[in-house]
Structure formats: structure tokens, C-alpha cells
Amino acid sequence: MEKKWFALYTKPRWEKKVDGLLIKKGIETWCPLQKMTKQWSDRKKIVEEPLFKSYVFVRVEPTERTKVLMTDGVLNFVYHVGKPAVIRNEEIELIKKYLSEAEASISIQSLEGLDENTRIKVNHGIFMDNTGTIVKGGNKKVYVKLESLGQVMVVEFPVEYVTPIK
């Protein structure tokens, strides 16, 4: 049996807790975090927040899925077309590479309600040779679709990094 990456749906704000509990069970897990500056009334603080709200990724064999579901905070696997969504290794590696860049800035939006406008190709950086869709009304953001998750990763690029696909 080959281990594959799956997305888990967690209780709200339980991503880091679920990640820790799965690690204690000996399950390969990944909760992508990005540093964010939070403003309080008296101070600013840099905190690590989950990139995907209510999502944690696990790399397991199909026989281990029950063990994963028996973990506090795990609600279910994310399903796509009636089966647990398998996340390609390339997608996981791409996100890991991008998050390792010093100026990484990613925001996540649902696929629902997004109009697809101009298709583009990225010419520079970690996402080079990937295609995406320009955000409606914008000229600096590129959608990189993670279709197996039903999510869209919005990544900011300088305009000169992208060219329209005709």
C-alpha cells in the first residue's frame, strides 16, 4: 500500500492541535503555517497561523484512515467526487517551497463564486511555468488552483512575472 496525501477537515482553530495529536500517534502530518503580523491595542506581534483554515494534511495508507479519524478535533477527510481527496505530492511540495521564501504571502479563497477571467502563465519564481487566472479587476494577483482541495491559492506577483495565454 502506498502512502498518499489527504486533506482533513478539523474543528475551527484546531489545526495546530490536530497536527500535534497526529504526530504523537506517529502519523505523517503537515499543517502549513505562515507568519502574520497581528495588531493589538498595545502592541504588534508576529504569529504563525494556519494557511488553510480548518485543514491539515496527512500522508497515510488507506488502512490508517480510521486511526486518523479517531483523533480529537478531526471532523472528516475532505471529499472530492465522493472519495477522500488525494493531494498530489507536487502540490504539497509547491506550497512548502513557496512558504520557505522570505516574502511569501498567500491568502486562500473558495472556488465558489469566482469568475475566471484572463488565463496567465507565470514566468518567474517558484511558480514558474504554472498557469492561473488573474483576479477580477486586479493585475498583480494570480490564482493557482488546487482543484483536489476545492480551494484557490491567491499569490501576489509583480505584473512583469506573468504573461497572458492566448
Return d(Cα 26, Cα 11) in angstroms, integer: 21
What is the mean predicted confidence (pLDDT) over 153-157? 67
Q: What is the CATH number of domain 106-164?
A: 2.30.30
Q: Do the bridges between strand 55-60 and strand 83-84 make them parallel or antiparallel, or are there none, so unpaired?
A: unpaired
- Do 120 and 134 contact (CB within 8 A), yes or no? yes
What is the mean predicted confidence (pLDDT) over 64-86? 92
Residue whose C-alpha is closest to residue 77's, from 55, 61, 52: 55
Q: What residue spans define the domains of the chain?
A: 4-87, 106-164
Structure confidence by residue, pLDDT tens digits, 20-70: 999 999 999 999 988 888 888 899 998 888 888 889 999 999 899 999 999
pLDDT band at 91, cuts 50/70/90?
Answer: confident
Span 4-87 CATH architecture: 2-Layer Sandwich (3.30)
